[in-house]
Amino acid sequence: MIEARKLLRASKACCRAFVRSSHLQSGGHQKPHRRRAIQSRCLAEPSSNGAGFDTSLNSCVASVRPSKTMLLSDLASSLRESGVDVVSLAAGEPDFDTPQEIIDAGIEALRTGITHYTPNVGTGAIRAALVKKLADENGLTYAANEIVVTNGAKQAIWQSLLAVCSPGDEVLIPAPFWVSYPEMARLAGAEPKIIDCSADEGYLLTADQLRAALTPRSRLLILCTPSNPTGSVYPLSRLQELAEVVAQHPRLMVLSDEIYEHIIYPPAVHHSFAALPGMWPRTFTVNGFSKAFAMTGWRLGYLAAPRDFAKAAAIVQSQTTSGASSIAQHAALAALALGPAGGQPVAAMRAAFLERRDYVMERLQRIEGVRVAAPDGAFYVLPDLSAFFGPDVHADEFGLIPDADTLCRYILEKGNVALVPGDAFGAPDCLRISYAASLETLQKALDRMESVLTSPALHRPALAATL
């Protein structure tokens, strides 16, 4: 009994930490003029905090919110370390080990002395292999000096933003979006401009929406297909419609995040935006090895762009991290050698993800009040759970559940399942579930989730109005 009380206290303490962090993050939702006022005060009013010197932060950093995905993943880890049986479906990380062929290549690098600095933009071998991959699989023609190998795809996105965005520029971001896009835009001194996309459109940006959002300050449009967090895949016809709008704007460029290109379920097909007529000169194509090849810890990504833009991104890299790991680059050669779309190892993982997607969909559709559409790619599902929170929703021995953040805390505290609230992705009615976990883990998580959402202790008088 004493041990149980200790675990309960640990769980509640971690949940309170999540709430505190959520409140801190709310600053990111302030209106632009309010945020700028706070930033101005940061610059004008140095703070000493009793330390006897100025401890104020850079105004760009002060406006950036921490990642809720990382927060929830860390929170789940803390609970597990405290002895609580928490199931985390928060992180977007394949549960598979890196394919053996890739591991063997990494070991070979260690044993044969491939352990030194590489050229800043990547080895000649990996860039040549990427030139071939982009041509064969994506219909894209690049020279080796138009490829920059980075320490993960996240760095490639960040360097692309820094290469072309200046203070006052707008970065257009369709919502739902990956949590880091708006924050990276802020760090680059630009202003994120969110374009809300509807579930009826599959959470895909329309040409009319893009046209309406454009201003003279529009500099970069970010597209992610397949999408994190929705799993939506842009069909060729929709990309063509967007490209027609992009072509009419004198300053607009596109960052095409294609990190999930190999995790896609028929009949959906992946298309690279830069392959559309007239779009190659305007496009940063970003990709990496973490998702499809289960190489998250190897930290290797890349960007492909016209030479001047690639050179600018490379300059940023030269003055920050320098080149990526020599060992990871050598291992990535083995990944690319597996064949088109990653060959059999990636095909096996993709089949497992499809089976898991279908299982998660079937379980969620069983729960009255959950609204969800089947994703066409990636390994996320974004169900609408607005029927389970609101001003008149509460749970016994918990309290009010006014929003998705609180619903996540309720599911974590009462069901020991860690999910990510949708407002982190610009979808405040939703929660994101990652099904990059075994079927056994998913069954345990969904059993618990169904139990707490259908519990008599949860009172939802507004249910009838939401269905």
Domain match, 77 and 126 both: no
- Amino acid present at 141: T
Domain match, 332 and 388 both: no
Domain match, 156 and 275 both: yes
Largest CA distance in the chain: 68
Measured distance CA(37)–CA(31) in Å, rounded: 10
Q: 55 pLDDT exceeds 90? A: no
Q: Is residue 161 part of a domain?
A: yes
In this prediction, residue 39 carries a pLDDT of: 41
Domain match, 438 and 368 both: yes
pLDDT, tens digit (0-9, with 9 covering 90-100), for 29-46? 444 443 443 344 334 455
Sign of CA dihedral 444, 447, 452, 456: negative
- Cβ atoms of 409 and 12 within 8 Å: the answer is no
Domain-terminating residue out of 307, 338, 369: 338
Q: 157 pLDDT exceeds 80? A: yes
Determine the angle formed by the axes of helices 343-366 and 439-453, rounding to 10 degrees: 20
Q: Is residue 246 part of a domain?
A: yes
Query: Is 0.85 topped by the overall pTM?
Result: yes
pLDDT, mean over the chain:
89
Domain match, 253 and 129 both: yes
**Arithmetic mean of pLDDT, 91-116:** 96
Domain match, 396 and 282 both: no
pLDDT, tens digit (0-9, with 9 covering 90-100), for 306-348? 999 999 999 999 999 999 999 999 999 999 999 999 999 999 9
pLDDT band per the 50, 70, 90 thresholds, residue 53: confident
Domain that includes residue 163, residue range: 104-338
Tell me the CATH number at 309: 3.40.640.10
Report the percent of the chain where pLDDT is more than 70. Answer: 85
Domain match, 84 and 160 both: no
Residue carrying structure tokens 């149980």: 4
Domain match, 275 and 389 both: no
Domain match, 255 and 371 both: no
Q: 1 pLDDT exceeds 50? A: no
Provide the domain count of the chain. 2
pLDDT, tens digit (0-9, with 9 covering 90-100), for 393-417? 999 999 999 999 999 999 999 999 9
